[in-house]
Amino acid sequence: MTQTPPPGHPWPIGFTSTCIRATLYILLIAGLAQGAFIEALHYPEVRFSEYGFTELTQSVLLLTASLLLLYIRQLLRVLPTVTLLMFAFTFSSFIREQDYFLDTWVARHTWKVLVALVVVPSLFWVIRERRRFVAEFASYANSFSFGLFAAGVLVTYVFSRLYGRGAFWEAILQEHYVRTFKDAAEEVVELLGYALILIAVIELTLLARQWVLARRAG
């Protein structure tokens, strides 16, 4: 039986728990920023390329988020339609990040086929179970996790694209423009966005475990 949130329960986050989690998330973000700095400083031959720290870490963040969403859906059995849609989003993003390797080692546009194989069945199932999805989303939309997830999506898929435009950096740097500036700006902002998405999924995992324990206790 799939788990649904206990009705009317606010699930407050304790102050101590908030401090611990905030500290860990700060360390995560700081570690990512430091990793990008070290990449730029010591590894100019691969910096902000598919073989650099930033791009590889983006893949790790997305894959970790995808695996956690599978854990929530398949093992905890909480919010199955919402987590399925979120999984389709994060795993498709992970596949998209592998486009260079897939184009080089398999065939051009392979990533598009793989993304379609993930997205189409997932959307079909969510549309089929749309009433359940709406009910689950109503519970999830009021959570801290949803706010973080939405922020991560906006940072990654809206702000980073606009901030990383070549025309923008050409206007700033003019005759000193080098593509590396554009790549660094876009990729590091994407890294932050993916980190926010992972943090959101971690928060959802903790929330889902609370719901499961509440069901068992009730």
Whether the CB-CB separation of 57 and 32 falls below 8 Å is answered with yes
Q: Which residues of the chain have pLDDT under 50?
A: 1, 7-8, 10
Return the domain boundaries, the chain: 54-217
What mean pLDDT, rounded, does the chain reach? 92
pTM of the model: 0.93
Q: Give, in order, the Cα–Cα distances in Å from 172 to each of 94, 141, 158.
A: 31, 39, 20
Residue 189: name the closest of 168, 158, 166 by CA: 158
- pLDDT of amino acid 88: 98
End-to-end CA distance of the chain: 15
DSSP tag of 157: I
The length of the chain, given as a count of residues:
218
Q: Which amino acid, 194?
A: Y
- pLDDT tens string 25-46: 999 999 999 999 999 999 989 9
